[in-house]
Chain A
């Protein structure tokens, strides 16, 4: 208990205070202070002449433009389209990445054959694939989804391989001794033990998927949050730019929260510490 908390709690010796004090930690107090000062500095940046913040429109203007934007259909269509692209690209990456990852982890020959190819293709930034994707896929939509797919695919593949090949040998040996058939070993031992790494791969993959949707819509898309962001760049609307950025940030945050919830549902034993 730090000094600050100690004297706060000593002044109100009731049990109720114990529960409040748990939330009123030092971090909460400092967090409010720091975010508050930045908001104030941002709002009055121009009169105060603060270097970076003064080039940005004041906070109030951003809030005003956001009200207009939130009511426009373009904005919400953007959300729907981006989410549709993300889900299809992301789900495809899991449906293909996890099985291949498990195969490569459990079958040595396929790992030794496929891994060099992974080592060649993975370092190529997915954004660099956009031209090839546009050439190859018949429609713009498919080319954007392919880029999102690439962003999430490598991560979940490597995490699955890592998870499945590092299963604690004592689990495998115990299961073998208890008389498990190869099918039992896979479904009851290897797969459950790998689930936590797969979920980590999905969470990181989702973050990169959102990066890729922004880039792909920037270049190839005609719609979506990413495209809206580029349009505001063209017409020099900084306020709209910032709102789109924040919206994408919120979307990214929400989707990784969904993955985390999915993870705690699929691997309940993880959080039971």
Chain B
């Protein structure tokens, strides 16, 4: 691309006036990324199709095929009653999404509050940190039996477990975030006459935000992981329960649909957390060069 690049006068180093997303789109098309990505996806689905549907190689013959699964997913009247056109599909999705997001949001609010308190007061941290450190190594899924035995009802144990998965991670990352704030910002705030609440809202929370959002990304992933396990053991509805039920009743195509849906919802949830993070932390935008 040996265009002659005319030196642009320094005074007005103007970005072309076209909208930024058009620029990103044109840059993407010119790079090799989309073409290799397409190649990769073809190889993956091609292998699935050849190994399972066509040649039924070795153990692959036991697995659900690519074509039947996609057909089931898209058909208006699916054999086992679950496709993008049936209400049952969306009821399971809603059950899982409701559980994950109610647990995630409450864990975020409580987790950040406790994390900030632990970061702020050394006595509170002294009291609570040892307990946290003792409970943290216990895998979340190991809490399932206790949750089922102790927590009454059907929904509560599942939401409780998903809450736990996000709770520990959020507390720890908030604590890490508060401790990472340079002492100089507290000193500047105090000498500028900030009250304690002002320091909390204008220094601690925004300062800890980068770490908090690293925690929230991990927490969202952990929520979906734990939800599926909890639903398999004690759920009535929800994608995790459905995965097990379709396996039990040998409806393998539907099982693949549910797994794909879980993957999609997991990806969208993480993308949502990243999006919210970018919005709240616009100040972290790279320097003027607009990275």
Q: Do A and B bind each other?
A: yes
A interface residue numbers (CB < 8 A to B): 2, 26-27, 29-31, 33-35, 38, 52, 55-56, 108-109, 112-117, 119-121, 123-132, 134-138, 207-208, 210-211, 214-215, 218-219, 226, 229-230, 232-233, 236, 238, 241-242, 244-246, 248-250, 252-253, 256
A127 and B232 contact, Cβ closer than 8 Å, known pairs A31-B126, A113-B37: yes
B263 near A211 (CB under 8 angstroms)? no
Q: A211-B140, A249-B137 are in contact. Are A135 and B252 (CB under 8 A)?
A: yes
* A200: min CB distance to chain B, Å: 13
Known: A117-B40, A253-B137. A26 touches B145 (CB 8 A): no
Q: Max chain A CB contacts within 10 Å: which of B40, B63, B150, B258?
A: B40
Most A CB contacts (10 A, CB to CB) among B125, B129, B225, B246 go to B225
Please give me the residue from chain B that is nearest to A108 by CB atom.
B32
Cβ contact within 8 Å between B145 and A123:
no
User: Which residues of A sit under 8 angstroms from B259, Cβ to Cβ?
Assistant: 124, 128-129, 132
Contact among A207, A219, A236, A244 for B232, CB-based, below 8 A = A219
- Counted as pairs of residues, one from A and one from B, with CB atoms less than 8 Å apart, the total is 173
Cα(A207)–Cα(B60), bound, Å: 30
B128 at interface (Cβ–Cβ under 8 A)? yes
A241–B39 Cα distance when bound, in Å, is 49
**Closest chain A CB from B65 CB (angstroms):** 13
In the bound complex, CA of A242 to CA of B233 (Å)? 18
Given contact pairs A117-B44, A132-B63, A136-B62, A211 touches B141 in the complex (Cβ within 8 A): yes
Q: Given A30-B127, A113-B43 in contact, is the A246-B37 Cβ separation under 8 Å?
A: no
* A31-B130, A35-B131 known; A125+B140 contact, CB < 8 A: no
State whether B137 touches A250 (Cβ < 8 A): yes
Contact of B141 among A124, A214, A246, A249 (CB under 8 A): A214
Q: Is B126 within 8 A of A29, CB to CB?
A: yes
A241, B149: Cβ atoms closer than 8 Å:
yes
Contact call A252/B150, Cβ cutoff below 8 A: no
Q: Which residues of B contact A (CB under 8 A)?
A: 32-33, 36-37, 39-41, 43-44, 59-60, 62-63, 122-123, 125-131, 134-135, 137-146, 148-150, 221, 224-225, 227-229, 232-233, 239-240, 243-244, 246-247, 252, 255, 258-260, 262-267, 270
Least Cβ distance of A45 to chain B in Å?
Answer: 12
Give the shortest distance, in Å, between B258 (CB) and chain A (any CB): 8
Assembly CA distance A170 to B43 (angstroms):
37
Q: Considering the chains assembled together, what is the distance between the CA atoms of A19 and B44 in angstroms?
A: 61
A selection of 30 A-B contacts at a CB cut-off of 8 Å is A27-B122, A30-B123, A31-B127, A108-B32, A109-B32, A109-B36, A112-B33, A112-B40, A113-B36, A113-B40, A119-B267, A125-B262, A125-B266, A127-B225, A127-B232, A127-B240, A128-B240, A129-B259, A130-B232, A131-B246, A134-B247, A135-B59, A135-B62, A135-B247, A207-B137, A211-B139, A214-B141, A245-B145, A252-B137, A252-B138
Report the nearest A residue to B37, measured CB to CB: A116
A112 touches B59 (CB 8 A): no
Instruction: State A261–B274 Cα separation when bound (angstroms).
Output: 33
Partner of B145, one of A52, A127, A233: A233
- Chain A residues, CB < 8 A from B267: 119-120, 123
Which residues of A lie under 8 Å from residue B126 when comparing CB positions?
Answer: 26-27, 29-31, 34
Which of B62, B128, B130, B258 has the most chain A CB within a 10 Å cutoff? B130
Q: Is the CB of A137 within 8 A of B59?
A: yes
Q: In the complex, what distance in Å separates the CA atom of A238 from the CA atom of B149?
A: 8
**Nearest CB of chain B from residue A170's CB, rounded to whole Å:** 19
Given contacts A27-B126, A119-B267, A132-B255, contact A125 B224 (CB under 8 A): yes
Supposing A113-B39, A136-B59, A136-B63 touch, asked if A123 and B262 sit within 8 A by C-beta, the answer is: yes
Given known A26-B126, A132-B63, contact A245–B146 (CB-CB < 8 A): yes
Nearest to B131 among chain A residues (CB) is A34
Query: In the assembled complex, which residues on chain B have CB atoms less than 8 Å from the CB atom of A113?
Result: 36-37, 39-40, 43
- On chain B, the residues within 8 Å of A241 by CB distance are 145-146, 149
In whole Å, how far is A22's beta carbon from the nearest beta carbon of chain B?
16
| B275 CB → nearest A CB, Å | 16
A127 and B229 alpha carbons, distance in the complex (Å):
6
Note all chain A residues with C-beta closer than 8 A to B270.
123
Residues of B with C-beta under 8 A to A124? 259-260, 262-263, 266
Question: What is the bound-complex CA distance between A136 and B221, given in angstroms?
Answer: 25
Distance in angstroms between the alpha carbons of A229 and B146 in the assembled complex: 10
Given A117-B41, A238-B149, A245-B138, 5 other A-B contacts at CB below 8 A?
A: A52-B150, A124-B266, A236-B149, A246-B138, A249-B142
Q: Which residues of A contact B41 (CB under 8 A)?
A: 116-117
CB distance from A201 to the nearest CB of B (A): 13
Q: Is the CB of B36 within 8 A of A248?
A: no
- Asked if B139 contacts A248 (CB within 8 A), the reply is yes
The residue on B at minimum CB distance from A241 is B145
Least CB distance, A204 to chain B, in whole angstroms:
9
